[in-house]
């Protein structure tokens, strides 16, 4: 199907928005009136620019407060409309969006609304324009799609149809099944947006918190199925008002938007994409750092052994159980120092995973390698993290470990079994995009967002996982644009006995994150423990959580650069990440940073 995006969904000048939409692969745009008014280009120049970019102008919007008003006011509205229709002719747009009135002058009279909209459509037809009437969720008298359709049907004008907007329909809890009663040819336009499920004024919700389909809590795919059953064959268009998108760079936002429509079309059977290849585990986590020594000491204290070194690059492989950490001190180190830069994902079909990622607009990463190096497919996540698709230990496929030479030291057989989860701090404008990326590209399941109190703000966190927990990634973002440079990433290591693992870590010279005594006093009030159990946790800095499925025990190392490690023990079916303990951990990390200056 053809795809379109409203210019209000992107940041920048109108020219920048058009360029971004075209580069992302959209077929058309909705021109938002404010963007045109602020542009130095004439309507003819905008039309030519769109044509040069291969974009059609699918909609001009919005025209407000037109219908069900006193005759004198309607006469003024027709005068205004005539000017806009002439502008649209110059612009090359043939459909105008008319929103249901919010004017205090509007009266609750469907017959009058139908009659005046019919007269408006008469005028529009003179200019080759169609009128798409949309029910705003906060409209004064018309606020539901079925009410708007009844008025359009009553008017019975060939140049008057309806516009359906998923936000206005789903935010009110309307049943979209009734859409199937509207003839497809009378649905002149379809606008799509998702949104998180919030309890707030619907106008503020709409103006600030919309997001692209698949990033919120609405069943946009379910609504679209009803629309398609009518025979609607117009474009799928995104109209998203979002404070973050308005400030983020237009090009990545446009790619995110286009990806959302590809995933949505796949969900309703209107796009054929390579099948998702769900990863089965974590092959490795790669740290880049200007100084390997602090990590050598930390990994050694955690029980890891440096088992191999890359043949041609300054990359060391550290192993314990099935947990593998690469420490890279090469030129790939970024200016902000030590960080978790790459993840190797075990894949049943690495080539198929790469095809899926490329089809969903993920940047394929060129890899600097010698002729003898193992070929690995890799793509970039929205935050720049490199994702490698691996087939570790499978003789029929290339194994990334063939690029490494053994040191002669076997992997340690300590208490760490593997990597339990990875936590990636997202740039403030990529949080929603990241959730859609990992769901759409990798086939992971997204969990509900949770808010975590930080001493200096608020963090949002959202996990993406495989069904069996073989891959767990926690995405976090701060409340302000600078937060992503403050909060650290981390690697959580799975163990069957966190007490023993913590003791070995301390005995080997490791420095655990100190936990305030007040935390353990609170634990004693909330839970019952066996004799001596709580005292052990207090001694070792172990935190504790429990849900209806099981128990979670975990402790942390101190941070190096932007990275720290976590030892975790899951008992029973515990599925969380210890979110209840996150404020204590964050406060402790801030306290250590204040003391050490790092």
Numbers of helices and strands, H then E, in the chain: 18, 25
Predicted local confidence at residue 494, as pLDDT: 98
C-alpha 229/C-alpha 235 separation (Å) is 15
pTM confidence score: 0.91
Side-chain-side CA neighbours of residue 292 (13 Å): 16
Q: Is residue 249 marked as binding?
A: no
**Inter-axis angle of helices 110-126 and 145-155, nearest 10:** 70
* Alpha-carbon distances, residue 514 vs 171, 179, 538, 541, 567 (angstroms): 45, 58, 10, 6, 14
Just give the CATH number of 281-596.
Answer: 3.10.180.10
Would you call 495 helix, strand, or coil by DSSP?
strand
What phi and psi, each to the nearest 5 degrees, are found at residue 546?
A: -145, 140
Q: Is residue 191 marked as binding?
A: yes
Q: Is residue 547 marked as binding?
A: no
Instruction: Answer yes or no: are the C-beta atoms of 493 and 566 closer than 8 Å.
Output: yes
3-267 and 281-596 share one CATH topology?
no
**Inter-axis angle of helices 250-267 and 220-229, nearest 10:** 60
User: What is the DSSP track for 437-492?
Assistant: HHHHHH-PEEPPPEEEEETTEEEEEEEEE-TTSSSEEEEEE-SSTTGGGTSPEEEE
Q: Do strands 130-134 and 95-99 pair parallel, antiparallel, or not at all (unpaired)?
A: parallel
Contacts of 471 (CB under 8 A, 6+ apart): 279, 280, 281, 282, 345, 444, 465
C-alpha 29/C-alpha 10 separation (Å) is 11
Q: Is residue 528 marked as binding?
A: no
* Alpha-carbon distances, residue 508 vs 119, 413, 415, 501 (angstroms): 84, 15, 13, 11
Q: Quick one: which H or E segment has residue 115?
A: helix 110-126
Q: Is residue 421 marked as binding?
A: yes
Predicted local confidence at residue 289, as pLDDT: 92
β-strand partners of 318: 306, 325
Just give the CATH number of 3-267.
Answer: 3.20.20.150
Instruction: Answer yes or no: are the C-beta atoms of 512 and 501 closer than 8 Å.
Output: no
Q: Is residue 566 marked as binding?
A: yes
**What is the residue extent of each domain of the chain?**
3-267, 281-596
Would you call 63 helix, strand, or coil by DSSP?
strand
Instruction: Answer yes or no: are the C-beta atoms of 399 and 392 closer than 8 Å.
Output: yes
Q: Do strands 404-406 and 305-310 pair parallel, antiparallel, or not at all (unpaired)?
A: antiparallel
Q: ∠297-300-303 over CA atoms, to 5°?
A: 155
Segment-wise mean pLDDT, segments of 10 residues, the chain, 598 residues: 97 97 98 96 98 98 96 96 97 98 95 98 98 96 97 98 97 96 98 90 88 94 98 97 86 95 96 95 96 94 96 94 94 66 96 96 78 85 94 92 92 87 88 92 91 80 94 82 61 97 96 95 95 96 95 96 95 92 92 76
């Amino acid at each position: 199907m053809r795809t379109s995006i409203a210019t209000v969904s992107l940041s920048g000048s109108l020219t920048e928005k058009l360029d971004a939409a075209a580069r992302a692969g959209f077929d058309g745009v909705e021109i938002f009136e404010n963007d045109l008014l602020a542009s130095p280009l004439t309507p003819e120049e905008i039309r030519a620019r769109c044509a040069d970019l291969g974009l059609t102008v699918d909609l001009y919007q919005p025209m407000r407060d037109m219908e069900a008003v006193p005759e004198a006011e309607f006469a003024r509205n027709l005068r205004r409309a005539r000017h806009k229709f002439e502008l649209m002719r110059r612009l090359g747009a043939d459909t105008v969006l008319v929103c249901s009135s919010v004017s205090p002058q509007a009266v609750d009279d469907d017959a009058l609304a139908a009659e005046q909209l019919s007269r408006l459509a008469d005028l529009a037809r003179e200019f080759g324009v169609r009128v798409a009437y949309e029910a705003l969720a906060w409209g004064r008298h018309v606020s539901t799609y079925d009410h708007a359709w009844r008025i359009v049907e009553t008017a019975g004008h060939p140049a008057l149809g309806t516009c359906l907007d998923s936000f206005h329909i789903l935010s009110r809890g309307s049943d979209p099944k009734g859409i199937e009663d509207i003839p497809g040819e009378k649905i002149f336009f379809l606008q799509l947006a998702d949104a998180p499920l919030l309890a707030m004024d619907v106008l503020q919700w709409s103006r600030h918190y919309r997001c692209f389909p698949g990033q919120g809590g609405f069943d946009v795919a379910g609504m679209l199925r009803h629309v398609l059953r009518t025979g609607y064959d117009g474009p799928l268009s995104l109209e998203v008002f979002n404070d973050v998108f308005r400030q983020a760079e237009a090009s990545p936002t446009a790619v995110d938007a286009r990806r959302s429509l590809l995933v949505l079309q796949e969900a309703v059977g209107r796009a054929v994409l390579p099948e998702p290849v769900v990863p089965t585990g974590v092959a490795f986590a790669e740290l880049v750092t200007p100084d390997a020594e602090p990590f050598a000491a930390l990994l050694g204290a955690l029980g890891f052994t440096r088992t191999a070194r890359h043949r041609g690059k300054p990359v060391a492989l550290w192993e314990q159980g099935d947990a593998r950490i690469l420490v890279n001190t090469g030129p790939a180190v970024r200016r902000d120092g030590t960080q978790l830069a790459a993840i190797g994902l075990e894949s049943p079909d690495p080539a198929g995973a790469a095809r899926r990622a490329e089809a969903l607009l993920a940047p394929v990463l060129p890899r600097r390698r010698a002729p003898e190096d193992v070929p690995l497919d890799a793509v970039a996540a929205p935050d720049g993290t490199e994702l490698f698709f691996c087939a570790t230990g499978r003789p029929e496929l290339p194994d990334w470990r063939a690029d490494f030479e053994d040191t002669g030291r076997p992997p340690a057989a300590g208490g760490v079994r593997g990597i339990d989860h990875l936590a990636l701090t997202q740039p403030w404008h990529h949080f929603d995009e990241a959730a859609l990326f990992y769901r759409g590209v990798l086939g992971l399941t997204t969990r509900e967002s949770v808010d975590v109190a930080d001493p200096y703000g608020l963090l949002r966190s959202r996990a993406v996982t495989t069904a069996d927990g073989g891959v767990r990634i926690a995405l976090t973002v701060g409340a302000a644009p600078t937060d992503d440079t403050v909060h650290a990433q981390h690697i959580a290591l799975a163990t069957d006995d966190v007490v023993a693992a913590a003791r070995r870590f301390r005995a080997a010279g490791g420095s655990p994150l100190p936990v305030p005594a007040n935390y353990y006093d609170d634990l004693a009030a909330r839970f019952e423990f066996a004799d001596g159990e709580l005292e052990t946790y207090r001694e070792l800095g172990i935190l504790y959580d429990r849900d209806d499925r099981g128990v979670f025990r975990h402790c942390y190392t101190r941070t190096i650069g932007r990275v720290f490690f976590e030892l975790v023990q899951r008992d029973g079916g515990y599925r969380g990440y210890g979110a209840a303990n996150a404020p204590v951990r964050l406060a402790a990390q801030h306290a250590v940073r204040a003391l050490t200056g790092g």
